[in-house]
Structure 1
Amino acid sequence: MRSEQEVNRAIEQYSDMVRRLCLIHLKNDADTEDIFQTVFLKYALSSAAFESDEHEKAWLIRVTINACKDLLKSLFHRRTVPLDEILEQPTEMREDHKEVLEAVLSLPQKYREVVYLHYYEGYTAPEIGKILGKKANTVYTLLTRSRQLLREKLGGDEDG
């Protein structure tokens, strides 16, 4: 079990990342808050020793993704929230960012994960592969396909 100081530091350092990951998977605030609490409770109770900040961050990402998947698979999770409701919430993002966010959120989950980890968290394909348990070449393929889907959704040109 971790000390209160360790848990508070981790929450301060990683709370935004965990919330964004949850929102990308769950698409609603209520479930996001539930999983947020679950992730940091698991962190507090965990005795895992981390080799570095990156190792700790990767552990939190993996626990968050697994918790989101578990919730989505659960028998009692039948309620959905329209994407428009999320996008209408007060936010500091400019209008053009909303369109990109909407396009990313509309991608299938396997593409949303790699897009989020690559573009929002700055991981490379080999690092994403380790986090998600996939080969680096699979991650490269998912990134290429997700970019193509985003280009189609956002009306970008084929060249770039």
Structure 2
Amino acid sequence: MSYSEQYITQRVRDYSDMVLRLAFAYLRNRADAQDVCQDVFIRLFKQPRTFTDHEHEWSWIIRVTINRCKDMLRSPWKRKNILTREVDLPIRDSQGREVVAYVLELPAKYRLVIHLYYFEHYSTAEVAALLQLKEATVRTQLRRARELLRTAMGGTGNA
């Protein structure tokens, strides 16, 4: 079984923005995020898979994206060659750019839950399932991430 060109085109349209955003949030580097995005689609189309529904396919793509990001960060080259340049954010409005810049400064585990919860609109139960964590752990990570953001942004109100 192989995929039709229409199927491939539709999946890339449906998922590429989300995969790229998630990889960028995890890796904080556009070029690496683009590499991960490409790898995810190669893995999706290289071996035909049967998904039970759209949510199953979506979850598989998110899980592969996260795993590919982790693989990239563990690579020997990446560990030796940490880029220290400023992250170029593809966001037009200055307030949104500032918030995302603060989010990108969080540790990876907090960036990931913040991204999935606020930007991809997953519930804490769905984030827990995607990350293979307990829901209470996700809620704790969200709370700690909000506290870190509040402190970094110099505020005392609710984040």
| Partner of residue 9, structure 1 | 10
The root-mean-square deviation of aligned C-alpha atoms, in Å, is 1.6
Q: 2:81 aligns with which of 79, 82, 85?
A: 79
Amino acid at match of 1:39: V
1:122–1:85 Cα change, 3 Å: closer
Deviation sequence 1:116-149 (CA, Å, 0-9, x none): 0000000001101110000111111111111111
How many residue pairs align between the two structures?
Answer: 157
2-side partners of 1:24 and 1:112: how far apart?
6
1:82-121 pair list within 5 angstroms: 82=84, 84-87=86-89, 91-121=90-120
Shift of the alpha carbon at 1:34?
1.3
Deviation sequence 1:73-128 (CA, Å, 0-9, x none): 011223333462414xxx44211111101110000011011000000000001101
| Partner of residue 58, structure 2 | 57
Shift of the alpha carbon at 1:29?
2.0
Where does structure 2 lack aligned partners over 5 or more consecutive residues? none
Between the two proteins, what is the percent identity of the paired residues? Answer: 40
Shift of the alpha carbon at 1:153?
0.9
3-state SS of 1:123 partner: coil
1-side partners of 2:87 and 2:158: how far apart?
33
| Partner of residue 28, structure 2 | 27
Does the 8 Å CA contact 1:27/1:83 hold for their aligned counterparts?
A: no
Where does structure 1 lack aligned partners over 5 or more consecutive residues? none
2-side partners of 1:117 and 1:83: how far apart?
25
2-side partners of 1:81 and 1:28: how far apart?
9
1:137–1:83 Cα change, 3 Å: farther
1-side partners of 2:67 and 2:146: how far apart?
24
2-side partners of 1:92 and 1:127: how far apart?
27
Q: TM-score, normalised by structure 2?
A: 0.91
